Chain A
Amino acid sequence: MRHIISILMENEAGALSRVAGLFSARGYNIESLSVAPTEDPSLSRLTLVTRGSDQIIEQITKQLNKLIDVVKLLDLTEGPHVERELMLIKVKASTGTQREEIKRLCDIFRGHIIDVTDKSYTIELTGNVAKLDAFIETLKKEEILETVRSGITGIARGDKALHI
């Protein structure tokens, strides 16, 4: 089962490598990982996507909780939640039809063209994994020059908040 684990942790040097090190040392996998400071600069929010049986996920959350730098954590997939990923994608756009087609696709997927040259468009697109995958599928492989994805980040729905 896929799980999104959201961690509030001390914004300190080495905290990220403690999390990453735990996963490699215990043989758990990380599908994606994103991290940045919160409104309180002493805290970081780290979101990671992993897979495993219930028993493995239980171990992962327990082991993460054991890390001294981890303040709190939440398995977002345990409840209703919103997940989003940001993608920046650079595509070939040199002919008129190409440019029109990509613009139209971009609108359908509610993306934005954020940079333009006479040969390329750079598109910003946000959504869940499936949406971003679908957009990539729609494009022809040879049209894609570069793809950058942020990894999943997420938040629980409702009033529930991961906060100290």
Chain B
Amino acid sequence: MELTGADIIVRFLQDEGVDHLFGYPGGAVLHIYDAIYKQDKVKHILVRHEQAATHAADGYARSTGKPGVVLVTSGPGATNAVTGIATAYMDSVPMVVITGQVPTPLIGNDAFQEVDTVGITRPCVKHNFLVKDVKDLAETLKKAFYIATTGRPGPVLVDIPKDVTADRTKYIYPKKVEMRSYNPVVKGHSGQIKKAVTMMLNAKRPMIYTGGGIILADAAKPLADLAHQLGFPVTNTSMGLGGFPATDKQFLGMLGMHGTVEANMAISHCDLLIAIGARFDDRVTGKIEKFAPSARIIHVDIDPASISKNVTVDVPIVGDVNSVLKAMIAQLKESGRKPDGEALAKWWEQIEEWRAKECLKYSTKGKLIKPQYVIETLYKVTRGDAFVTSDVGQHQMWAAQFYKFDKPRRWVNSGGLGTMGFGLPAAMGVQFAHPKATVVSINGDGGVQMNIQELATCMQYGLPLKIICLNNGFLGMVRQWQEFFYDERYSQVHVEAQPDFVKLAEAYGHVGMQIEKPEDVEKALKEAFAMKDRLVFMNFLTDPGENVFPMVPAGAGLDEMILI
């Protein structure tokens, strides 16, 4: 039987096992929405802005490992989605975005709601397609899912003109696709792995530094195994939090611009750096010449282009980090050797000295709520077991520092692109994927307003999110930079007029709370989390003068932190 392109899209999504589709209708996708109407296998989530559709799909993907799927219309539908696509691209999130396009005969004619979607998104997708013939549709969609989810994952966009969704052809679900030009490497080079393990065994001051790759490859277990067998210290990037249990005594916390003293100092003094699924981002390295200056470097990554991009490495290993870690464990066993215990004991002694500085300590004096205290209390109240999304700014760093993630896929934040407005819609995607789980979204008063309209989506689908707004009345991270580096010239960072967030939450049908005193924080959080089936918006009025410490100023080395 012949199906229309629209029916093929929906049938394909069903066959591919897609359960949620985040989208927003429009002219060019009318046929597709008609096909969606006629079925109930793929649940469509109607957001209030296309950017939120991509962030929600992103949150869904990060918290499950499955690709997030988005459907938007042509023109402004596609351009609104771009920020979310770029966010997913920077953080290697598997995502498939289907965009409507004007009918093929009109392409290039400046038709109504026409943009060159493939052209606009080209630099921020792993790959994209324009489908010009309905006969290519199913296979192209399969390729999109294949590319998005394999190798270094990323968003793939499929642009489908309206006439293609009306044309008919036979549909067979393509179980597999092969592409001569795309064959991601999985297994690491065994010689390199052997070399790396020997270096680990000989190291005096080793350090393991892991990133989002551990999460993406579901490699938390082999990482913990290797780290425990070796007894080496571990640090995570912001993208990698949860990849190694934060409550493990071998964990030194996050590294980088707002990393801990122990992590940054250990990086600066180690003689062997083992980087796994991380990409030496500038927020991580600080001044590149001063990064791990005395270390030989092993770098495991699935993307060869990430290796020796920013920092030259001694032992590059291209491969899936899960497979490489397992091979390393096997190699370690085969060697029959143990790491240098005496040297390690000395190294740990040094690390404990750094750790004893308690760099994350903050003053609890005063009548104002300290934002760090809210996160610490949140950790306590949720017993460290919530899914936490964050927006971008100071609150994001405090969340990363003070919420101890023991499991992967629990921490969802826009690490690479740093997209304000990410936190709330991403939390929706997480909640759709885990309907019974506790999902918290930590925001600032700036970013939360960038996609505040999604409170309506939350109401429509009964999402019981717990939204925390650390409200200091400032665009805090920018304010912090202006305080430190621009002689306190606070330019356009004071958010003077604000909505009444309690009333705003109530206007959308949710529960709103305002918390003004430190002594009310715990009680309020407990009360909010007791409301299992309601969305609660908690507006915490926090100390506007609070800064994120430690801080490595731009252009400085990791050992040149500003401390409180």
Contact = CB atoms under 8 A, between A and B. Distances in A.
Interface centre among B119, B122, B127, B181 (most CB of A within 10 A): B181
Given A21-B123, A55-B308, A59-B305, A14 B182 contact: no
Given A17-B122, A68-B127, A58 B181 contact: no
B33 to A, nearest CB: 27
A68 B122 contact: no
A68 B147 contact: yes
A25 B123 contact: yes
Nearest to B151: A66
A69 to B, nearest CB: 6
Given A14-B118, A59-B309, A70 B181 contact: yes
Interface centre among A10, A14, A70 (most CB of B within 10 A): A14
Interface residues of B, number: 18
A51 interface: no
B126 to A, nearest CB: 7
B309 A17 contact: no
B304 interface: yes
Interface in B190-226: none
Contacts of B127: 68
Contact of B181 (A10, A14, A21, A59): A10
A18 B303 contact: no
A65 B308 CA distance: 15
A66 B119 contact: no
B337 interface: no
A11 B463 CA distance: 47
Given A13-B130, A58-B308, A59-B309, A66 B303 contact: yes
B175 interface: no
Interface in B86-145: 118-119, 122-123, 126-127, 130
A71 B130 contact: no
Contact of B130 (A14, A17, A25, A69): A14
Contact of A21 (B122, B126, B180, B312): B122
A63 B308 contact: no
A68 B123 contact: no
Interface centre among A10, A21, A62, A70 (most CB of B within 10 A): A62
A164 interface: yes
B122 A14 contact: yes
A56 B182 CA distance: 23
A65 B122 contact: no
B179 interface: yes
Contacts of A5: none
A89 interface: no
A164 B179 CA distance: 12
Interface in A1-57: 9-10, 13-14, 17-18, 21, 25, 55
Given A55-B308, A63-B305, A17 B147 contact: no
- 8 closest Cβ pairs, A-B complex: A62-B305, A68-B127, A71-B181, A25-B123, A62-B304, A68-B182, A63-B305, A66-B305
6 contacts: A9-B181, A21-B123, A62-B304, A68-B182, A69-B181, A71-B181
Given A14-B122, A71-B180, 13 more contacts: A14-B118, A17-B119, A17-B122, A21-B123, A55-B308, A59-B309, A62-B305, A63-B305, A66-B303, A66-B304, A68-B127, A68-B181, A164-B180
